[in-house]
Amino acid sequence: MLAAGLGIAGGFVLIAQALIVARVVHRVMIDGAGYREVLPQLLQLPPLMLLRAGLSWVSERVAFAASAVIRREVRNDLFQRLLDAGPLCLKGDRAGEVATVIVDGVEALEGYYSRYLPHLAVMAMVPLSILAAVLPADWISAGIMLFTAPFIPFFTILIGRGAERLNQRQWQSLARLGGYFLDRVNGLATLRMFNASRREALMIAGISDDYRRATMSVLYVAFLSALVLEFFATVSVALMAVIIGFRLLKGGMAFQDGFTVLLLAPEFYLPLRLMGNYYHARMEAIGAAERIFSLLDTPVAPRPAAPCPLPAISPLRICFEDVSFRYTPDSAPAINGVTLSLASGERVALVGPSGAGKSTLAALLLGFALPEQGRVLVNGVDLAACDPDQWRRLVAWVPQRPHIFHGTMRDNIRLGRHDASDLDILRAAGQARCEEFIARLPHGLDTVIGEQGAGLSGGQARRIALARVFLKDCPLIITDEPTAGLDARSEAMVREALNELAGGRAVLSIAHRLATLEDADRVVVMNEGRIVEQGGYDELKAAGGLFARMVAAGEGP
Amino acid sequence: MRDIVRLLKLAWPHRAWLLAALGLSLATLLANVGLLALSGWFIAAMALAGISGVPMNYYYPAAGIRALAICRTLGRYAERVVGHQASLRILAGLRVWIYRRIEPLAPARLEGYASGDLLSRIRADIDSLDTFYLRLLAPVLTALCAGLLFIMFLWCFSPAVALATAGLLLVAGGFLPLVVHLLGRKPGARVTWTSSELRTAVVDGLRGMEELLAYDAAERQKERVKELNRRLLADQARLAGLSGISAGGVGLCSGLALWLALVISIPLVRTGSLSGPQMVMLGLFCQAAFEAALPLPSAFRLLGQALAAARRIFFLVDEPPAVREPHEPAPPPENAALSLRGVGFSYGDGAATLERIDLELSPGRKVAVVGGSGAGKSTLLALLLRFREYDSGSIILGGREIREYDGEDVRRLMAVAGQQPFLFNATLRENLLIARFGAGEDEMVAAARMAGVHDEIAALAHGYDTEAGEGGVKLSGGQVRRLAIARAILKDSPVLLLDEPTEGMDAAAARSLLERVFQYAEGRALLVITHSRIGLEAMDEVALMDEGRIVERGSHAQLLARSRRYRDMWALDDGMTER
């Protein structure tokens, strides 16, 4: 609002300036006045010009500040909202897309708040005040202005809207052309495999040419709107000049008035013409706002209003009591009536085909979601009634593909204990068999690890995740096949580290391979959300059920 | 400077369009300045004529005013049309040029960029380069030409006014943008850097949310995002302030030009060396002349971006390809017998990725390579396809060292279905026909049938004309893989290389696919890289790789009997269900 006020004030200064200039010129030319007579007025001009420049600078800053507050709040709220919604709402690879909305989508609001909105007020007020200044001087010119002014917004909207659509379709197809190009670059390896890459260069040239022709045929028409706007603004000024000239010749008006009008006429049309430029900012912001609002509507994971304190946790005893869960109300249950217990000192392995509900069980135990039915009890207390943050302080989690954060190796390891000393960090790293490769890094613990763990092998990333667990030192450990796809040496190291870690704690590990089961006290076999078998490895193998079939398939014919 | 010369060279084929756009924008600018100046002169002269009663010829000036208004209007239109023509032509040229230059770099030299999303960067860089010509080069040249013409015109009436205006034009068009540019460089660089940090922090927060919650670190990440957000906006505010200064500054200069013109001409009018109407004309002329300087501040801002983009693109296209083609390639190989002897390869970081690999792959032989991820299996394929150069040992194809042949001749013999098959944003038909341009419909269908994907394609609403990729139908990983196999079959080459062909399929489907593939591969050389044990029993040889070496080899049965490591590596749920 302040920005709009400053813009309008700038308009007033402009009018004052024009009046003074016209007066000075009139006195010199018509009245034959010299320096001495016009000096006071001449000296008024530079301060006015300076004031106008100052106003434009301040209004730019103020407009930006308004949009900055909005963007800061929206961005922080979005991030907070997604944290509240929890990890399950980001399943699939939505993270990249969502991040784009948080970073770029919010950025797109800038033009709307800092340009479009303030300009709307300027557009309404500045031409009106110019009109008010011109009217007493020359009613014919005022009439021309009044008559032509509505055409400009009218045509901006009428032709602009059609053209906007055409334009947008055209820019979309240009974007598609860009997409085509990137697609081929993306698939260059494939194109080369089939010796098709050189042919494709001709295709790109040909398609670019087709697009250019199609685009231009639309732009010829789309630019007509600009032509009409330009026509009204420019021809009106020319018309006013000619009419004023003839009235002056006939002695029908004072030169000073005529000159004022001529000075102000282009300024009258300027805000109206600029509107077209800012219209685009509005379109962009509207598109972004839709995506932002849909993210802000992400349902928040439920939390107890008054969490009850956790019971003493040593030793730990966890019970799943007839637990069921589904991701969306209309999907099949991911977990269906699961009853399971786990205690300190016990290592339980979860096996089953993928989609059996193993990861969901882990997510429930981590408090990322609450059971739809049944309870998860921790030493007799319902987990749903506890503060999830407090509970998670007792749980360590090693996912199959641990996330490595952009930052130093030190910060990555001390994720759960930010105040840990280097001594503790190095001890944990040693226990997780990381020290050897950390020692090889150029800056040791200070080495910055790339985005999403670039530069680390899968085995190294998993050992860093284990180091986090060693450092955190808590009574319950959940792992998701920590040795899959590792080379023989890394696998041995990770297994050793895990065995060391397990002592005395409760361990739930999701297993995909027979080799992993050897260290487990108990094997729980899941299928389609239910527990179908559980018991010792040999016992289950002899039972002839799903587990026995899996083992047989694994050992091959 | 060298980069600018290179950029100009790239646009050389389109110089006629660029010059036309330049000429039109100059004409439009002159028409507007002329319109205002002539209007001012006209009304002043008419006023004097009205007072003195001396008749004046008003016909020509009035017609001139109207003509200039029309020129301005039409000029604006023509300028935009021609400008876009030039821009689109240059853009097309740039794309083809860049494509041609990076084509030999794929995939080896482009892999390093994968995480840094090379593609979106190339796209943004091409767009920045595009602005170089139209929003940077053209306005700067127009302003220079127009500025000279303006000064020459003013000089005829009053050298003092001409000098004053020249000075102010220099301030508005040169000094001010330069200062703003210099002051804005640091915050500008920080904005780029902070927003990429912010993006990383947000992506980290979302992708790593499980860990953040599990380790009670979400609050810290949130604070980091907040802090980066605050810093980003603070620097953007600095830039906005600077752009306010430059906008206000140009306005101030144009006002001062009018003022100085008046101050200088008032005594001249008194002495009679300048007429009153000429004074009015000069004043308006000086003020209007600053339209030429308006686009310059943003041109300066774009200069940095455009040059940085140009440098990145030049750096990329100037990289030497991973594999140097022979100057005088040997005639195409006569047969497809492949033999690897002691092949070694390293990515150059000291650690060997492949070491002493021996492998015989002649037509009629089926070989499988198995092993954990990172064992170097896929690198092996890159060597065979001449995407990478082996460091030691030899690869013999058709009796000669493989590096003696032209890469395209080698690849003509090999059909590949990669581990992460790439589908283009095109119809399924186009995606298949990449393998053999001009293959018949029946051949395509036969290949799709063999890969077990025909029925599923036929069941789609548009069949083979269904669009794949982004915006197209979402295909499952297994479907994409089978499409890639169909593509490889369609190519009909004597060597068939399959990387993880059965991943994401259930056991029955995997078995029946491999049976058909084995049947097709009868009499061809077949190399299968796999994590799955299905079909291994039919292989002539299975090689177990670990850390870049073949550690065990033999038939599936032999390895099962002999190697504990081999027995242990199979996933429990392998082949039990669709993953």
Ordered domains of chain B (ranges, CATH): 2-317 (1.20.1560.10), 336-413+530-579 (3.40.50.300)
Domain stop point among A233, A262, A296: A296
Least confident of A272-286, B141-155, B365-379, B435-449: A272-286
Instruction: Using the predicted structure, report yes or no on whether residue B311 has a pLDDT greater than 90.
Output: no
Same domain, A324 and A385: yes
Per-residue confidence (pLDDT) for residue B295, from 0 to 100? 85
Residue pair B567/B560 in contact (Cβ under 8 Å)? The answer is: yes
Chain B, window 255-274: residues with a beta carbon less than 8 angstroms from a chain A beta carbon? 255-256, 258-259, 262-263, 266-267, 269-270
Query: Is A268 within 8 Å of A127 (Cβ atoms)?
Result: yes
- Same-domain check for residues A332 and A276: no
> Which residues 155-214 in chain B show a CB within 8 A of chain A?
195, 198-214
Q: In this predicted structure, which of A36-45, A140-149, A481-490, B147-156 has the lowest mean pLDDT?
A: A481-490
A492 and A355 in a single domain? The answer is yes
The confidence score (pLDDT) of residue A56 equals 87
Pairing status of strand B338-346 against strand B392-397 = antiparallel
Distance from CA of B557 to the nearest CA of A (A): 9
The two three-digit tokens of residue B564, written as one number: 């504990």
| Residues A190, B199: C-beta atoms closer than 8 Å | no
CATH number for A107: 1.20.1560.10
Q: Which of B111, B130, B199, B213 to substitute to test the interface with A, most A CBs within 10 Å?
A: B213
Q: Do A208 and A333 reside in the same domain of the chain?
A: no
Q: Do A255 and B43 make contact, defined as CB atoms within 8 angstroms?
A: yes
In this prediction, residues A342-351 reach a mean pLDDT of 90
* Per-residue model confidence (pLDDT) at position A276: 67
Contact A181 B99 (CB under 8 A): yes
- Interface confidence, given as ipTM, is 0.83
**Total-model pTM:** 0.78
Nearest residue of chain B to residue A471 (CA atoms): B215
In whole angstroms, what is the distance from residue B451 CA to residue B440 CA? 17
Residues of A in contact with B65 (CB under 8 A): 238, 241-242
- Same domain? A499 vs A373: yes
Q: What pLDDT is stored for residue B285 in this prediction?
A: 94
Count of C-beta atoms within a 10 Å radius of residue A469: 26
- Asked whether the beta carbons of residue A76 and residue B229 sit closer than 8 angstroms, the reply is yes
How close B229 gets to chain A, by Cα (Å)?
7
Which tens digits make up the pLDDT trace of B81-105?
998 899 889 888 888 898 898 888 8
Mean residue pLDDT of chain B comes to 87
The predicted structure's pLDDT at residue B486: 94
Residue B569 sits at the chain A interface (C-beta within 8 Å): yes
Q: In this model, does residue A270 exceed pLDDT 80?
A: yes
Residue B116's pLDDT band, with cuts at 50, 70 and 90, is very low
> How does pLDDT run across A25-42, given as a tens digit for each residue?
999 988 888 888 889 999
- The string of pLDDT tens digits covering residues B396-414 is 999 999 999 999 999 999 9
CATH number assigned to the domain comprising residue A494: 3.40.50.300
Residue B437: list chain A partners with CB under 8 A.
Answer: 196, 199
Specify whether A178 is located in the same domain as A323. no
Q: In a mutagenesis test of the B interface, which of A19, A67, A405 is the best target, namely the one with the most B β-carbons within 10 Å?
A: A405
CB atoms A468 and B215 under 8 Å: yes
Are the Cβ atoms of B80 and A223 closer than 8 angstroms?
A: yes
In a domain, A46, yes or no: yes
Measure the CA–CA gap between B439 and B442, rounded to whole angstroms. 8
For residue A451, the distance in angstroms to the closest alpha carbon of chain B comes to 7
User: In this model, does residue A93 exceed pLDDT 60?
Assistant: no
Confidence band of B366 (pLDDT split at 50, 70, 90): very high
**CB nearest to B202's CB, from A99, A237, A484:** A99
C-alpha distance from residue A141 to each of A132, A134, A149, A240 (Å): 11, 7, 12, 6
User: In this structure, what DSSP letter does residue A441 have?
Assistant: S
Q: Report the pLDDT value the prediction gives residue B374, as an integer from 0 to 100.
A: 64
Burial of B70 (0-12, 13-18, 19+ CB in 10 A): middle
Q: Do B77 and A227 touch (CB under 8 A)?
A: yes
Residue A57 is assigned to a structural domain of this protein: yes
pLDDT at A118: 84
pLDDT band at A92 (very low <50, low <70, confident <90, very high): low
Q: Tell me the pLDDT band of B42, cut-offs 50, 70 and 90.
A: very high
Instruction: Give the pLDDT of residue A162.
Output: 64
Closest residue in B to A114 (Cα) is B240
Buried/exposed A356-382: b ≥16 CB within 10 Å, e otherwise = bbbbbbbbbbbbbbbbeebbbbbeebe
Residue A467 lies in a domain: yes
Q: Is residue A303 part of a domain?
A: no
For residue B239, count other CB atoms closer than 10 A to its CB. 18
Which of A6, A29, A400 to substitute to test the interface with B, most B CBs within 10 Å?
A29
| B510 contacts B534 by C-beta, under 8 angstroms | yes
Give just the sign of the alpha carbon dihedral B135, B136, B140, B141.
negative
User: Which domain range does residue A19 map to?
Assistant: 2-296
Neighbours of B121 (CB within 10 A): 15
Tell whether the torsion through CA atoms of A537, A538, A543 and A545 is positive or negative: positive
- Conformation bin of residue B69: beta by default, left when phi > 0, alpha when psi is -120 to 50: alpha
Nearest CA in chain A to B566: A555
pLDDT tens digits, A59-91: 888 888 988 999 999 999 999 999 888 888 776
Report the pLDDT value the prediction gives residue A159, as an integer from 0 to 100: 63
Do A249 and A322 belong together in one domain?
Answer: no
Domain assignment present for A309: no
**b/e string for B79-88 if b means 16 or more Cβ within 10 A?**
bbbbbbbbbb
| Domain count within chain A | 2
Same domain for A144 and A276:
yes
Residue A374 pLDDT > 60: yes
Nearest to A187 among B424, B536, B565 (CB): B424
CA B515/CA B517 separation, integer angstroms? 5
Residue % of chain A over a pLDDT of 90: 23
| Residue A556 reports pLDDT greater than 60 | no
> Is residue A211 located within the same domain as residue A65?
yes
Chain-wide mean pLDDT for chain A? 84
Say how far apart CA A356 and CA A530 lie, in whole Å. 7
Q: Facing residues of B416 across strands?
A: B497
User: For residue B579, is pLDDT > 50?
Assistant: no
Overall average pLDDT of the A338-342 stretch: 92
pLDDT above 90 covers a percentage of chain B that reads 44
Q: How far is B499 from chain A (nearest CA, A)?
A: 13
Residue numbers in A near B99 (CB within 8 A): 181, 184-185, 200-201, 204
Beta-carbon count within 10 A of B176 CB: 23
Confidence of residue A284 (pLDDT cuts 50, 70, 90): confident
pLDDT at A400: 77
Cα nearest neighbour of B387 on chain A: A189
Residue B343 confidence (pLDDT): 94
Q: Are residues A266 and A375 in the same domain?
A: no
Picking from B84, B209, B430 by the largest number of A CB atoms within 10 A of its own CB, the best residue to mutate is B209
In 3D, which of A457, A465, A491, A492 has the Cα closest to residue B374? A457
Distances (CA, A) of A19 to A15, A37, A259, A264: 6, 16, 9, 9
- Lowest-pLDDT range, A56-60, B117-121, B340-344? B117-121
Q: Give chain B positions within 8 Å (CB) of A416.
A: 214-217
Q: Where are the alpha helices (DSSP H) in B325-453?
A: 377-384, 407-412, 428-433, 441-450
Task: Measure in Å the smallest separation between the Cα of B556 and chain A Cα atoms.
Answer: 10
The whole-number pLDDT of residue B432 equals 92
| Nearest C-alpha in A relative to B268 | A34
- Residue B12, classed as helix, strand or coil, is helix
Look at residue B105 in the predicted model and tell me its pLDDT. Answer: 85
Query: Are B119 and A182 within 8 A, CB to CB?
Result: yes
CB contact under 8 A, B422 and A187: yes
Q: Which helix (H) or strand (E) holds A51?
A: helix A35-85
Pair A500, A539 in one domain: yes
Residue A526: inside a domain:
yes
Mean pLDDT, residues A435-441: 82
User: Which positions 285-324 of B are in contact with A (Cβ < 8 Å)?
Assistant: none
- Residue B525 per-residue DSSP state: E
Taking 80 as the threshold, does the pLDDT of residue B202 lie above it?
yes
In chain A, which residues have their Cβ closer than 8 Å to the Cβ of B240? 60-61, 63-64, 114
A335 and A278 fall within a common domain: no
pLDDT > 70: percent of chain B: 94
Mean pLDDT of A513-520: 75
Whether pLDDT at A172 is above 70: no
> Among the listed ranges A333-342, A410-419, A445-454, B38-47, which one has the minimum average pLDDT value?
A445-454
Residue A95 domain-assigned (yes or no): yes
Q: Which of A25-29, A152-156, A200-204, B531-535 has the lowest mean pLDDT?
A: A152-156
Q: Tell if the CB–CB gap between A178 and B72 is shorter than 8 Å.
A: no
Pairing of strands B541-546, B366-371: parallel
Structural domain includes residue A512? yes
Least Cα distance to B548 among A489, A450, A434 occurs for: A489
Highest mean pLDDT among A190-194, A206-210, B33-37: B33-37
